[in-house]
């Protein structure tokens, strides 16, 4: 006999223990409740759906920080790098998103003045100047470096990049005041971008520093791999 305790729900406890059959505890699985607020599914767009994919591959992106006390290369992210082409404007751009967070770490149009420089001592990476990077929602001049898994992928990226520099650009819809300003600006006549001379002088030293950094990363990865193999055996 179960000893009754002095609690307010004593009668119900006794009844539940005496009627502990399956039919008593059977749940009603057919119960359905309508949500108070209905939220329709929203088709999320990244503005990449209407563009053609000329190149897509995983890569590691670097950014040269020249404003720090000791100028150095800093890793900007690892993810999928794409070269996209807009069929309406014929404008090509480089865009890259970080893994997991999908945060943009590179986003700039490819201009005819841009040149890919191979990193010294490596066939898997390139360095280039991007005076129009829009990663942080404002136009900044950046020196970027990228490293791919192998030399074949790197060459495919270079082919797509160089092809985009030859794509036609439509300037017929530009306002008249912009055309006048371009005619008066000497930098427009030479095809150079203001500040590109400073970036060009910095990029050569930056390319060598990136090569050293990539070499250190390769050595570190090899040491870690060897240590794992030794631990397994």
Within a domain: 180: no
> What φ, ψ does residue 34 adopt, rounded to 5°?
-80, 135
Within a domain: 24: no
Number of structural domains in the chain: 1
Tell me the pLDDT of the chain averaged across its residues.
73
Given a cut of 50, whether residue 210 has pLDDT beyond it is yes
Task: Sheet containing 140-147: give its strands across.
Answer: 104-109, 92-98, 72-85, 52-65, 140-147, 125-133, 117-118
Given a cut of 60, whether residue 178 has pLDDT beyond it is no
Within a domain: 23: no
Are residues 60 and 78 in contact, defined by beta-carbon separation less than 8 angstroms? yes
Are residues 194 and 182 in contact, defined by beta-carbon separation less than 8 angstroms? no
> What φ, ψ does residue 130 adopt, rounded to 5°?
-125, 95
The rounded distance, in Å, linking the Cα atoms of 124 and 49 is 29
Best CA proximity match to 147, nearest among 117, 125, 121:
125
Q: Per-residue confidence at 218, pLDDT binned at 50, 70, 90?
A: low
Domain extent, residue 90, equals: 48-169
Please compute the mean of the pLDDT values over residues 37-60 and round it to a whole number: 87
Are residues 145 and 64 in contact, defined by beta-carbon separation less than 8 angstroms? yes
Given a cut of 60, whether residue 206 has pLDDT beyond it is no
- Predicted pLDDT at 68: 78
Within a domain: 9: no
**Can you tell me whether residue 232 is helix, strand or coil?**
helix
Are residues 213 and 127 in contact, defined by beta-carbon separation less than 8 angstroms? no
Within a domain: 225: no
Q: Per-residue confidence at 43, pLDDT binned at 50, 70, 90?
A: confident
Q: What is the pLDDT of residues 78-99, one digit of tens each?
A: 999 999 999 888 899 999 999 9
Q: Which residue has the higher pLDDT, 116 or 32?
A: 116
Please compute the mean of the pLDDT values over residues 61-81 and round it to a whole number: 91
Best CA proximity match to 66, nearest among 195, 161, 158, 229:
195
- Predicted pLDDT at 153: 97
The rounded distance, in Å, linking the Cα atoms of 47 and 104 is 13
Within a domain: 89: yes
Within a domain: 226: no
* Number of residues assigned to the chain: 233
Per the structure block, which two tokens stand in for 209? 């520093």
Lowest pLDDT segment from 11-20, 64-73, 111-120, 137-146: 11-20
Best CA proximity match to 57, nearest among 156, 163, 135, 161:
156
Given a cut of 50, whether residue 212 has pLDDT beyond it is yes
Within a domain: 75: yes
Q: What is the pLDDT of residues 126-170, one digit of tens each?
A: 999 999 999 988 999 999 999 999 999 999 999 999 999 885 544
Task: Please tell me what DSSP assigns to residue 148.
Answer: -
- Predicted pLDDT at 44: 75
Core vs surface per residue 96-131: b (16+ CB within 10 A) or e = bbbeeeeebbbbbbbbeebebbbbeebebbbbbbbb
Give 80's contacts (C-beta < 8 A, 6+ positions apart).
56, 57, 58, 59, 96, 97
CATH number of the domain residue 69 falls in: 2.30.29.30
């Amino acid at each position: 006999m179960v000893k009754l305790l002095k609690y307010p729900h004593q009668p119900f406890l006794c009844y539940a223990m005496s009627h502990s059959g399956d039919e008593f505890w059977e749940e009603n699985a057919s119960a359905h409740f309508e949500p108070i607020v209905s939220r329709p599914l929203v088709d999320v767009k990244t503005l990449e759906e209407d563009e053609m994919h000329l190149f897509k591959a995983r890569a590691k992106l670097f950014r040269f920080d020249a404003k720090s006390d000791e100028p150095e290369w800093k890793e900007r992210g690892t993810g999928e790098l794409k070269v996209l082409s807009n069929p309406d404007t014929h404008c090509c751009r480089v865009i890259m998103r970080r893994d997991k967070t999908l945060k943009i770490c590179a986003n700039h149009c490819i201009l005819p003045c841009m040149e890919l420089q191979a990193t010294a001592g490596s066939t898997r990476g390139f360095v280039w100047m991007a005076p129009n990077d829009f990663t942080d929602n404002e136009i900044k001049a950046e020196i970027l470096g990228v490293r791919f898994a192998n030399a074949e992928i790197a060459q495919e990226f270079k082919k797509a990049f160089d092809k985009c520099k030859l794509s036609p650009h439509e300037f017929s819809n530009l306002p008249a005041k912009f055309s006048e300003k371009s005619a008066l600006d000497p930098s427009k006549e030479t095809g150079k971008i203001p500040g590109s001379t400073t970036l060009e002088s910095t990029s050569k030293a930056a390319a060598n520093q990136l090569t050293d950094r990539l070499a250190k990363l390769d050595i570190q990865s090899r040491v870690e791999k060897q240590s794992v193999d030794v631990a397994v055996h």
